[in-house]
Structure 1
Amino acid sequence: MTDLAPAETEKLAPDTPLVRRLGLIDYATTFERMRAFTDARKQGTPDEIWLLEHPPVFTQGQTGKAEHVLAAGSIPIVQSDRGGQVTYHGPGQLVVYFLVDLHRRGYGIRSLVSRIEHSMVALLGERGIHAYADPEAPGVYVDDAGGKRMKIGSLGLRVRRGCTYHGLSLNVAMDLEPFSRINPCGYQGLKMTQMADLAGPISVVEAGEALLIHLLRELGYVA
């Protein structure tokens, strides 16, 4: 993995985010590096957006309750400091982390959450998937044929020193079975779905590059 020290990117314009495509990388390692980057960044350090996948792991949010993990089996559980409850990450799921200076961007955390959700909804719409956000339950959802809500995209952030880390996960083409071992995001019986099941074959890389276009626009980096 590339050294993520902020000093590497000081030469870039403050409003230009550095996009890192990290491939498959361990959750705990990435978590530590996000925190280190956030603690070390300076006023002029450019924002960064990381696109990646994780090996199988359950992560607990900072207010996560143990009873929402039903049967972890051999999949490790890692305590995180993001918002929200327990979720699952695994190969075939697109993860995007946002290392964003909110003060410099000029908007707050609620606006950032909405912008990220809008980006996912826009991407899914391009694939013919009607998706929507719920202000009462962060994330992105679709309805099945019977009108029952299913979740396709999750979101959890942390703000530290006015800057964010953590981000979104979008189910692209993965094994969804591990979600049955938890109450996803703390909701009992919440069914998860993914892009490949709703709109045909797509790779994580393809989904990531398409989503990035919407993210850069929604987050105000490009017109």
Structure 2
Amino acid sequence: MMEVKQNKKIEIKELGFKDYKETWDYQEQLFKEILDIKVKNRRENTQIETPNYLLSVEHPHVYTLGKSGDVSNLLINENQLEEKGAKFYKINRGGDITYHGPGQMVIYPILDLDNFFTDIHKYLRLLEETVILVLRDYGVKAERSEGETGVWLDVGTPFARKICAMGVRASRWVTMHGLALNVNADLGYFDNIVPCGIKEKAVTSLNVELGENYVDMEEVKQKFLDYFNELFDAEF
């Protein structure tokens, strides 16, 4: 079989404020498009380039449970969900339960890792590193927590708290789902879950860490894209 040329271009899709389920369906559509090209290349010995996408979005209040998650980590019932204007979905990413909502920068890279590197562990570590570098620009020292995905502050202390959740799915080296960085998030919504199934660990937001009412989301997003571009050797 002829080797398909690597395509390092990533198309950024700004989705604005969009319902979780609609965004999930759109992810699935793009994910399938890339997989179909890969199958065609293999079966027909063609060399069609696979595209890469990066979706940027904010969601209305929603709780999502990964395929290995425990539904008991959602601490409220259907009526309470409705009262809080929140939805709940079981989805096909890794990880347990998490919350998405206004004030959170959500990024879904739909990448063919054959265009970059075929290593899911490296992919997750680079996503974490991108967020760590963004936070460093704001004077916030963030790091990884051994055995736990995402990005944390004050790891190894009684004050450890998560600022960015991650959960991905991959098939034939094509990725979907991604990360959620709390920028101006309403942290009260995290009280209704055991975040990521990890008990006795707090959650925080960038504006809280900086002691500000509001942090410029567009500025945070641009920093993220710049570091992502650099670490993945990508082209936007």
With the length of structure 2 as denominator, give the TM-score of the two structures.
0.84
Aligned-residue offset at 1:104:
2.0
Deviations 1:104-150 (A, max 9, x none): 21231110000010010001011000110124100000129x75200
Other-structure match for 1:34: 27
Give the alignment partner of residue 7 of structure 2, picking from 8, 11, 14.
Answer: 14
Return structure 1 stretches of 4+ with deviation > 4 angstroms. Answer: none
Other-structure match for 1:156: 167
Other-structure match for 1:9: none
Where do 1:60-209 residues align within 5 Å? 60-71=65-76, 73-74=80-81, 75-143=86-154, 147-199=158-210, 200=212, 201-209=214-222
- Classify the secondary structure of the residue corresponding to 1:173: coil
RMSD: 1.6
Matched-pair contact (CA < 8 Å) for 1:38–1:160: no
With the length of structure 1 as denominator, give the TM-score of the two structures.
0.89
For the pair shown, the structure with the greater C-alpha radius of gyration is: 2
Consecutive unaligned residues of structure 1, counting only runs of 5 or more, are 1-12
Consecutive unaligned residues of structure 2, counting only runs of 5 or more, are 1-5, 39-48
- Classify the secondary structure of the residue corresponding to 1:21: strand
- Classify the secondary structure of the residue corresponding to 1:164: strand
Percent of paired sites with the same residue: 28
Aligned-residue offset at 1:161:
2.8
Aligned-residue offset at 1:204:
2.1
Query: Please, which moves more after superposition, 133-142 or 168-177?
Result: 133-142
Other-structure match for 1:211: 224
- What is the aligned length? 209
- Classify the secondary structure of the residue corresponding to 2:169: strand
